[in-house]
Amino acid sequence: MITQLIDTIETLIPKYAANPEDSFANGNVAVCIIDQQGRIYGKIWGNNKITGRNFFRNAWIKASQAWITGIKTGEFEKLLFNGLVKEEDFGIQAPDLIGWEGGLPIKLKNNTEIYVGFSGFRGFNDVKIIEEAVDMLNP
């Protein structure tokens, strides 16, 4: 299922990359997925290894933050900075939070829980590409 999700995301990349406001990465984007056992899956697209590495780093931080907290990135920071959760409850110090959208917990149709981070587009589109791919797999 995870490999299918990565393959589905790959089919959607051209659609999102076609938006001029999301073309800054020049096709260099990345996804990171953490499963319930802590195994890490991922893929880097594009031909610039350094840019791809940087986007994968962001995707990994997004996925791992969602894995640790069980809360979407961006939403967790809002909860924290509004005093609704405490950083010590999760073990992530405020300077280490990603702060951007694009990391989220996902429940697949077979009840598998995974934590996905995507980086390379604007944050809300990092979320949308994940959600669209999941919807395609979970009709």
Q: What is the pLDDT of residues 100-120, one digit of tens each?
A: 889 999 998 888 899 999 999
DSSP 64: H
Q: In what order do the strands lie in the sheet with 103-107?
A: 40-45, 29-35, 113-119, 103-107
Which pLDDT score, from 0 to 100, does residue 92 have? 83
- pLDDT reading at 88 higher than 90: no
Residues 38-46, mean pLDDT to the nearest whole number: 97
> Domain 2-137 - what CATH class?
alpha beta
Cα–Cα dist 42/49, whole Å: 14
Q: What is the pLDDT of residues 47-83, one digit of tens each?
A: 999 999 999 999 999 999 999 999 999 999 999 889 9
Contact partners, residue 17, CB within 8 Å, separation at least 6: 23, 25, 27, 29, 121
Which pLDDT score, from 0 to 100, does residue 104 have? 96
Contact 59, 102 (CB under 8 A): yes
**Percent of the chain beyond pLDDT 70?**
100
- pLDDT reading at 124 higher than 80: yes
- pLDDT reading at 94 higher than 80: no
Strand residues in the chain grouped as ranges (E): 29-35, 40-45, 103-107, 113-119
Where does residue 105 rank: exposed (0-12), middle (13-18), buried (19+ CB within 10 A)? middle
Which pLDDT score, from 0 to 100, does residue 55 have? 96
Q: Which of 108, 126, 128 is nearest to 117 (CA)?
A: 126
